[in-house]
Structure 1
Amino acid sequence: MSLSLNTFQTTNSRVDVTYKLTGQPEPVQLSGVVVRPGTPFNNGTIVITTHTLPHSTKGIVLAIDIQALKELELVHFEAKYSVDLTEQRMLANGFQSWSQAREMDQNDKIPSIRSSIAWYTQYNLQGDYDFFPHSGEKGQIHSSSYTHFRDIHNVLRFFGSISESLGYTYFKSDYNNNILSVYKDVFGKTIAPNQTLELIRIFIGESNQEGALWDMYGAFFEDKRCLKGNTAQRHVNGWTSWYNYYGDVSEEIVFENVDALVKHKYPINVFQIDDGFQTAIGDWLSINKKFPSGMKSVASKIKGAGFMAGLWLAPYAVGFNSNVAKKHPDWLIQDPITKKPVVAGPNWGGFYALDMYHPQAREYLREVFHVVLEDWGFDMVKLDFLFAAAMIPRLGKSRGEIMWDAMEQIRELVGPDKLILGCGVPLAAAWRKVDYCRIGSDVSPWWEDTKLKLLHVRERVSTANSLVSTLSRWAMSDRMFGNDPDVMILRNKKNKLKPSERYTLCVLNNILGALVFSSDNVGDYGKDEHLLYAATFPKVVAHVESVIEFRPEMFLVHFTVANKGGEPRHYTTISNMTGESQTCYLPPSDDETHLYFATNDSMHMTKPDKREPLFYHPSSRFTLEEHETKTFLHIPPPSPENNGKVTLMGSTSHIVPGAEVELLDLAPDGSVQIKFRKENQRQRKVYICLGNQYFATRAAPSACKVNGVMVPVEIHPISGNGEGRTETEVAVAVVEA
Structure 2
Amino acid sequence: MILKKHSYIFLLTGLLAGNALHAGPGDQFLQALKHSKATIVMANGQPAPATVQVTRAWNGEYCTARIVNTGSKPVRIHEVILAQAGKVLPANTPFYAEGFQMLTQTSGTLEKPQVLGNYTDNGHYRMPQPAGYLAVYNLLRLYPAGEPQLLLGFTSCRRFAGKFYLNADTIKVVMDLENLSLAPGNAFQLEEWALLKGMDGNALLNKFASRINHHHPRLAFKQPPTGWCSWYCFGPRVTAQNIYDNLDYIKANIPALRYIQIDDGYQPHMGDWLSAGKSFGGNIQPVLKAIRNKGFEPAIWVAPFICDSNSTVYKKHPDWLVKDANGKPLRSDLVTFGGWRLKPWYVLDGTNPAVQAHLEQLFRTMRKQWGCTYFKLDANFWGAIHGGYFYDKQATRVEAYRRGMKAILKGAGDAFILGCNHPLWPSLGLIHGSRSSMDIKRQWSTFERSGRENLYRAWQNGRLWWNDPDCLLLTGNMPDNEFRFHTALIFSTGGMVLSGDDLTTISPERLNVLRKAVPPTAQAAAFEEGKFEIGRLSTPKGKYLVLLNWDSTAQTITAKLDHPCEILDHWTGKSLGKFLGAYTAELQGHDGRVLELKE
Q: TM-score, normalised by structure 1?
A: 0.69
Q: Which residue among 36, 51, 55 is the counterpart of 1:45?
A: 51
- Hey, what's the Cα distance between the residues in 2 that align with 1:128 and 1:8? 34
Letter of the 1:633 partner, please give it: E
Residue 71 in 1 paired to residue 74 in 2? yes
1:147: which partner in 2? 140
Counterpart secondary structure, 1:348: coil
In structure 2, list runs of 5 or more residues that go unmatched: 1-23
Residue 584 in 1 paired to residue 581 in 2? no
- Hey, what's the Cα distance between the residues in 1 that align with 2:467 and 2:28? 30
2:539: which partner in 1? 561
Letter of the 2:425 partner, please give it: A
Q: Offset of 1:253 from its aligned partner?
A: 1.2
Counterpart secondary structure, 1:186: strand
- Hey, what's the Cα distance between the residues in 1 that align with 2:590 and 2:359? 43
- Hey, what's the Cα distance between the residues in 2 that align with 1:107 and 1:579? 28
- Is 1:238–1:271's contact at 8 Å kept on the other side of the alignment? yes
Q: Offset of 1:443 from its aligned partner?
A: 0.7
Residue 574 in 1 paired to residue 536 in 2? no
Q: Which residue among 193, 196, 200 is the counterpart of 2:187?
A: 196
- Hey, what's the Cα distance between the residues in 1 that align with 2:311 and 2:264? 15
Letter of the 1:332 partner, please give it: L
- Deviation per CA, 1:540-588, whole angstroms, max 9, x where unpaired? 33354x234534xx4332211213xxxxx3322121223333343323x
- Hey, what's the Cα distance between the residues in 1 that align with 2:45 and 2:204? 42
1:439: which partner in 2? 436
Q: Offset of 1:107 from its aligned partner?
A: 5.4
Cα–Cα, structure 1 residues 125 and 266, in superposed 2: closer, same or farther, change >3 Å?
A: farther
- Hey, what's the Cα distance between the residues in 1 that align with 2:349 and 2:474? 40
Q: Which residue among 509, 515, 519 is the counterpart of 2:490?
A: 509
Residue 277 in 1 paired to residue 281 in 2? no
1:525: which partner in 2? 506
- Hey, what's the Cα distance between the residues in 2 that align with 1:296 and 1:92? 43
Cα–Cα, structure 1 residues 123 and 147, in superposed 2: closer, same or farther, change >3 Å?
A: closer
Q: Which residue among 381, 398, 401 is the counterpart of 1:400?
A: 398
1:172: which partner in 2? 165
- Deviation per CA, 1:297-328, whole angstroms, max 9, x where unpaired? 32222122222211110000102322222333
Cα–Cα, structure 1 residues 272 and 8, in superposed 2: closer, same or farther, change >3 Å?
A: farther
Cα–Cα, structure 1 residues 622 and 473, in superposed 2: closer, same or farther, change >3 Å?
A: same
Cα–Cα, structure 1 residues 513 and 317, in superposed 2: closer, same or farther, change >3 Å?
A: farther
Counterpart secondary structure, 2:128: coil
Q: Offset of 1:635 from its aligned partner?
A: 4.6
Residue 92 in 1 paired to residue 90 in 2? no
- Hey, what's the Cα distance between the residues in 2 that align with 1:308 and 1:8? 53
1:263: which partner in 2? 252
Counterpart secondary structure, 1:217: helix
- Hey, what's the Cα distance between the residues in 2 that align with 1:83 and 1:200? 27
Q: Offset of 1:526 from its aligned partner?
A: 2.0
Residue 424 in 1 paired to residue 429 in 2? no
Counterpart secondary structure, 2:215: coil
- Hey, what's the Cα distance between the residues in 1 that align with 2:186 and 2:28? 30
- Is 1:160–1:217's contact at 8 Å kept on the other side of the alignment? no
Cα–Cα, structure 1 residues 305 and 618, in superposed 2: closer, same or farther, change >3 Å?
A: farther
Letter of the 1:570 partner, please give it: K
Superposition pairs for residues 116-135 of structure 1, below 5 Å?
128-133=125-130, 135=132
Q: Which residue among 361, 366, 374 is the counterpart of 2:355?
A: 361
RMSD: 3.2
Counterpart secondary structure, 1:580: coil
- Hey, what's the Cα distance between the residues in 2 that align with 1:399 and 1:128? 15
- Hey, what's the Cα distance between the residues in 2 that align with 1:6 and 1:279? 54
- Deviation per CA, 1:105-163, whole angstroms, max 9, x where unpaired? 345325799xxxx9xxx98799553323485xxxx765311222345679543222134
Superposition pairs for residues 228-307 of structure 1, below 5 Å?
233-292=222-281, 294-307=283-296
% identical aligned pairs: 20
Cα–Cα, structure 1 residues 287 and 125, in superposed 2: closer, same or farther, change >3 Å?
A: farther
Q: Which residue among 558, 567, 588 is the counterpart of 1:597?
A: 567
Cα–Cα, structure 1 residues 163 and 436, in superposed 2: closer, same or farther, change >3 Å?
A: closer
- Hey, what's the Cα distance between the residues in 2 that align with 1:159 and 1:124? 19
Number of aligned residue pairs: 560
- Is 2:568–2:597's contact at 8 Å kept on the other side of the alignment? no
Q: TM-score, normalised by structure 2?
A: 0.84
Letter of the 1:438 partner, please give it: R
Letter of the 1:85 partner, please give it: L
Structure with the largest fraction of helix? 2
- Runs of 4 or more, structure 1, over 6 Å off, are 122-126
- Hey, what's the Cα distance between the residues in 2 that align with 1:14 and 1:580? 51
- Deviation per CA, 1:597-626, whole angstroms, max 9, x where unpaired? 2648xx639xx9x9xx65555446544333
Structure with the largest fraction of strand? 1
Counterpart secondary structure, 1:91: strand
- Hey, what's the Cα distance between the residues in 2 that align with 1:90 and 1:302? 46
- Hey, what's the Cα distance between the residues in 2 that align with 1:576 and 1:397? 48
- Is 2:418–2:433's contact at 8 Å kept on the other side of the alignment? yes
- Is 1:170–1:182's contact at 8 Å kept on the other side of the alignment? yes
Counterpart secondary structure, 1:246: helix
Cα–Cα, structure 1 residues 585 and 298, in superposed 2: closer, same or farther, change >3 Å?
A: same
1:483: which partner in 2? 467
Q: Offset of 1:440 from its aligned partner?
A: 1.0
In structure 1, list runs of 5 or more residues that go unmatched: 21-25, 31-42, 55-59, 228-232, 449-461, 564-568, 637-737
1:692: which partner in 2? none
Q: Offset of 1:273 from its aligned partner?
A: 0.9
Residue 633 in 1 paired to residue 593 in 2? no
- Hey, what's the Cα distance between the residues in 2 that align with 1:162 and 1:195? 24
